[in-house]
Structure 1
Amino acid sequence: MTPSARLAAVSELLELLEESQSKADFVVSTYFRNRRFAGSKDRRWITEKFYMILRRRGELDGYLEFLGLPVSSRLRSIISLLAFDMFLLADIKSAYFSGPHALAPLEPEEEKLLKAWVTPMDVNLPESAVANLPDWIVQKIRVAYGDRADQILAAFKERAPATFRVNHQKSDVQKVLQQLQQEGIDAVSTDVSPVGVMLKSPRNLMQHALYQQGALDVQDEAAQIAAILAGAKSGQSVMDYCAGAGGKALAMADRMDNQGQIITLDIDKKRMRDIEPRSKRAGINCIETAVLPPAGSASDQLLSLVSTMDVVFVDAPCSGSGTWRRQPDQKWNFTQERLGELTELQKGIFEQASQYVKPGGTLVYATCSLLPEENQGQVEQFLKSHSEFKVISVRDRWSEVGLRREAPEGPYLQITPEQFGADGFFVALLQRQA
């Protein structure tokens, strides 16, 4: 594809996303499935530019407003070359507006206004535009994180690293790193998780033998840490409540050396459809799935599990604010009303899941959120009406389960994306008293 066709594809993807109710990754995969003529380098360039524009849409819209131009997918694509790739307007005109698949040429008024472009440093944008987040979220992060807020907000501009969990049923970290490095793939072990590898430059490993044979599974380091902190041991009974695609269940099964029982639950059977093939690829056979019935009802199977689980892991539905580097479209669609709905949902899930923990067992509450009302706020509210549960300090368990670096201060774990590259994530550990 020519540079013109690539940029036009980015603009088209942005338009399709605006018109769709689907998530960005689905829009991208559908787009390329219908355009198989695009080579791997074309797909990579288009995808990276598309996501970069979504991550930094606030700045781009601010620049367009500063220049007196309307906000559109086409102009966002063009001005991203000026603002972030440091192209001159003349170079953009010569390289990105030629050929049959190019964007429409600049209108005289557009060109006149774009010629007034100055460097980003000279444009005084509103705080929410600089942060590339809705203003109400910026204020929540400032209140919650104080002096650290600027670094957290800046981290959302960057691409999240590609991170994998090494499955010890098939290999180990050192063998995986050695093989990748021999193949010229620049990878390092993760900072905190002892079972992760991180690629230093973008690379799709989904067709690589290590992935296909089950030695690697896609999982951010924060999720690895959460699964390790659960403390699941060989032979135990574990419940993964709101399991989704089962990444944490697989991580816990590996920690358990595939010995014991893991029950994965979700209200939507389709969300769990990947658990079986992922388990087969990983050589894991201790996981079974069950569909959660509607709120207020329970199956005979679930009733028989009340007060029997050694570990119940609750990966609660949340804002996903910790993952907005990977899913930047989601931050622009998130509302205060939706946050209110989620906190009510989390409260109910917390309550429902807790009944399955046996005396002496562990209840793990986790989210991929940075917002306190979804995290410690939920835990503290739960504890007020559940005196049978006590907090297990994450700091006390840290070295016991083999996590690296210094343990966090305080009873809970709150990871933020500027710390060591992982997604934002929250973990609380509660023990049910005998």
Structure 2
Amino acid sequence: MTPAARLSAAIEILGDLITRRRPAGDAIKDWGLAHRFAGSGDRAALSGLVFDTLRRRASCAYVMGSEEPRALLLGMLATVRGQDVEAIAKLCDGARFAPAPLTEDERARLAAPNLDGAAPWVRGDYPQWLDGELKAVFGEDRVEEAAALSARAPLDMRVNTLKAKPEDVSAELAHLSPEPGRWSPLALRIQLGADGKQPPLTSEPAFAKGEIEVQDEGSQIAAILAAPVPGSQVLDLCAGAGGKTLELAALMDNKGQLYAHDSDVRRLKPIHERLQRAGVRNVQIRAPRGPVDVLADLENLMDLVLVDAPCTGTGTWRRNPDAKWRVRPGALAERTAEQAAILEQATRFVRPGGRLAYVTCSLLEAENAAQIRALLAKRPDFSVIPATETVLALGSRGLALREAALDLPEGLLLTPRRTGTDGFFISVMKRAG
């Protein structure tokens, strides 16, 4: 496909996902199935065009004075990729498979794109209804925090210490130029090129042997700060596909007992193969079975309960830029109700003197600090362990992380701007002995 044809296709795909309010990945996949002539390079280029536009959708619309897919793509070429008006005009020459020629208004806007007078949600590229939520957390810094969420994310890996050492894996993957993580001693990071294309990591021998898992450094930090102890009893209450379960098992050195549960058995499907590949032996999967309380025997016995709570995912917008335009106020209310119920359920299993770790990949007060305050009001036998203590699990890096992150009375908030990770809220509480 020519660059002009790719631009036309991207306009078509963007229109489909906006009209039907569907994930970008689904729209791109369906387009590819309907246009078999497009090669892998074409599909990668289309993904880049669409995702770059979604990252900056609000500011592109402001620059172009239109929310139409064509306007958004053209605005992205000028503001994100830095193409001048003549370069864009060459793509839009009206030839076969090319977009129609630029109008005089489009030329004028593309020649001098600017955000003068734009509202915070436009400059930060996030939905207007979330402005108050982000202001409550970041104040006047919300534009810069949100802008960092609009950048491309690197590819982070966690080294599985049950199988390998970070330095050995780094040498094995030297052809991908991995860098050590800034905070997590288990992390390796691959910086992506200008096209954002990720290497086929799952085809690497290190992956096949279970030596690495794809996992954001922020997610790794959350499990480390929960501080599972080898030989202890741990419950991962919202285990899902098992990303943090695998890390907890490695941190426990396969010693003790780790229980993995999720309210939706379908989310647990990938965990079985992942545990086997990672060489994990201390995990017992407790899948839901109708009305049966499969966790009843764990009540008041756990040294640690981890709640990786379902949330709006606002902290992962770098990786899922389409998600921020699909989230609605009703979804936030639904998630906060679900989180409160899960947190209350989790307290059942924490033994006296045990710990409860609450984690979200959200930046919103309602899903984070407010949930902790509400729980503590109902359960005065629980108290927050200050970040000055929890960060010590990271060794010498811990105090620097606390300085970089947003240290709240209820927990620690990581953000792309502050810590270079996805957005994560981490609160560790202790039950009175």
Please say whether Structure 1 and Structure 2 have the same fold, judged by a TM-score greater than 0.5: yes
Runs of at least 5 residues in structure 1 that lack an aligned partner in the other structure: none
Change (3 A) 1:229 1:157: same
1:115 match: secondary structure: helix
Q: In the comparison of the two structures, how many residue pairs are matched?
A: 421
Give the match for residue 48 of structure 1: 48
Give the match for residue 263 of structure 1: 259
Change (3 A) 1:284 1:129: same
Give the match for residue 191 of structure 2: 200
Task: Map 1:354-369 to 2 at 5 A.
Answer: 354-369=347-362
Cα pair 2:287 2:294 within 8 Å, conserved: no
Task: Map 1:22-421 to 2 at 5 A.
Answer: 22-32=22-32, 37-65=37-65, 70-95=66-91, 97=93, 100=96, 102-106=97-101, 111-117=103-109, 118-121=111-114, 123-181=116-174, 183=175, 185-201=176-192, 202=196, 203-204=198-199, 205-292=201-288, 299-402=292-395, 404-405=397-398, 406-408=400-402, 409-411=407-409, 412-421=411-420
Cα pair 1:241 1:315 within 8 Å, conserved: yes
Give the match for residue 432 of structure 1: 431
1:88-139 Cα shifts (integer Å, max 9, x gaps): 3333333455765x24423xxx522112123323754333211111223123
2:416 match: secondary structure: coil
Letter in 2 for 1:50: V
Cα pair 2:236 2:261 within 8 Å, conserved: yes
Change (3 A) 1:89 1:400: closer
Change (3 A) 1:244 1:139: same
User: Matched residues in 2 for 1:273 and 1:30: separation?
Assistant: 25
Aligned-residue offset at 1:275: 0.7
User: Matched residues in 2 for 1:17 and 1:11: separation?
Assistant: 10
Q: Sequence identity of aligned pairs in percent?
A: 33
Cα pair 1:365 1:428 within 8 Å, conserved: yes
1:175-205 Cα shifts (integer Å, max 9, x gaps): 1222222x2x222111111100111225321
2:189 match: secondary structure: strand
Change (3 A) 1:128 1:149: closer
Cα pair 1:56 1:157 within 8 Å, conserved: yes
1:121 match: secondary structure: coil
Letter in 2 for 1:114: E
Aligned-residue offset at 1:37: 4.5
Q: Larger deviation: 415-424 or 386-395?
A: 386-395
Change (3 A) 1:112 1:403: same
1:163 match: secondary structure: strand
Aligned-residue offset at 1:305: 1.3
User: Matched residues in 1 for 2:93 and 2:177: separation?
Assistant: 36
Aligned-residue offset at 1:323: 0.8
User: Matched residues in 1 for 2:206 and 2:8: separation?
Assistant: 35
Change (3 A) 1:387 1:190: same
Q: Given the two structures, how large is their TM-score scaled by the length of structure 2?
A: 0.90
Q: Larger deviation: 238-247 or 41-50?
A: 41-50
RMSD: 2.3
User: Matched residues in 2 for 1:92 and 1:170: separation?
Assistant: 50
Cα pair 1:60 1:80 within 8 Å, conserved: yes
Q: Given the two structures, how large is their TM-score scaled by the length of structure 1?
A: 0.90
Change (3 A) 1:349 1:49: same
Letter in 1 for 2:103: E
